[in-house]
C-alpha cells in the first residue's frame, strides 16, 4: 500500500462514466461525505474473484465508517455481471464504461496497470492511498480497520 510517493495521492479521483447494476448512472462524487475503499476488478482476473467474495462477506461490517465499492473495468458489462452472479456477490457493483481504457490510461493511480487494484479516497473523494492489496479474510479485515485510521 502506498500513502506517499504516488503522483495521485492528494488528488481528486477522476470522474468517469459508470453505471450500477440497474444501469443507472453513478459517480465517485456519490461517495462524498464518507471515506471509501474502491476495488477495481475484471471478469478475466481470477485473483480478483477471491477478493470479491471476501469483500462481499465482510464489507457490511465496515459500512458505518466507510463505503466499499467494487468497480468492474470490463468492457462487456454482462461478463462482469455473470461473474458476480456465479460468485453470489450481493454488494453494490459499479461498472466503468470503457473500463480497459481507464486501466491503460492509469486513470485511478494504478501506475502498474494491474488488477486487482484498490485505493482509498477520503470524504471529499481525494485519493489517500493506492496499491491496496487484499489477500485472505483475516488480512483484509485488519487492513480495512487500518484504512479507517488513515
For 118, what's the count of Cα atoms within 13 Å in the CB-facing half-sphere?
23
Q: How many Cβ atoms are within 10 Å of 150's Cβ, its own excluded?
A: 11
Predicted pLDDT of residue 73: 94
The residue with greater pLDDT, 116 or 103, is 116
Query: For residue 83, is it left (φ>0), alpha (ψ between -120 and 50) or beta?
Result: alpha
| Rounded-to-integer distance, Cα 70 and Cα 5, Å | 25
Residue 23: strand, helix, or coil: coil
**Residue 41 contacts residue 133 (beta carbons within 8 Å):** no
Radius of gyration of the chain (CA): 14
Q: Residue 143: pLDDT band by 50, 70, 90 thresholds?
A: confident
Go through the domains of the chain in sequence order and give each one's CATH number.
Answer: 18-147 (3.40.30.10)
Q: If you average pLDDT over residues 86-109, what whole number do you get? A: 85
Share of the chain above pLDDT 90, in %: 49
pLDDT at 1 over 70: no
Q: Where are the beta strands (DSSP E) in 21-141?
A: 25-26, 36-41, 67-72, 93-96, 117-121, 127-129
Tell me the C-alpha distance between 114 and 54, whole Å.
Answer: 19
Residue pointed to by grid coordinates 479516497: 121
User: Mean pLDDT over residues 99-120, rounded?
Assistant: 82
On the question of pLDDT at 109 being above 60, the answer is yes
Residue 63, pLDDT > 70, answer yes
Q: What is the pLDDT of residue 71?
A: 96
Amino acid at each position: 500500500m502506498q500513502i506517499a510517493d504516488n503522483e495521485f495521492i492528494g488528488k481528486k479521483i477522476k470522474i468517469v462514466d459508470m453505471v450500477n447494476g440497474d444501469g443507472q448512472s453513478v459517480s465517485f462524487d456519490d461517495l462524498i461525505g464518507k471515506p471509501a475503499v474502491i476495488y477495481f476488478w475484471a471478469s478475466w482476473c481470477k485473483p480478483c474473484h477471491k477478493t470479491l467474495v471476501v469483500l462481499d462477506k465482510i464489507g457490511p461490517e465496515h459500512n458505518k465508517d466507510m463505503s466499499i465499492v467494487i468497480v468492474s473495468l470490463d468492457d462487456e458489462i454482462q461478463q462482469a455481471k455473470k461473474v458476480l452472479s456465479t460468485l453470489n456477490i450481493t454488494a453494490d457493483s459499479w461498472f466503468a464504461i470503457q473500463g480497459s481504457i481507464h486501466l491503460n490510461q492509469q486513470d485511478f493511480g494504478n501506475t502498474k496497470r494491474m488488477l486487482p487494484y484498490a485505493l482509498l479516497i477520503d470524504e471529499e473523494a481525494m485519493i489517500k492511498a493506492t496499491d491496496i492489496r487484499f489477500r485472505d479474510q483475516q488480512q483484509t479485515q485488519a487492513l480495512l480497520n487500518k484504512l479507517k485510521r488513515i
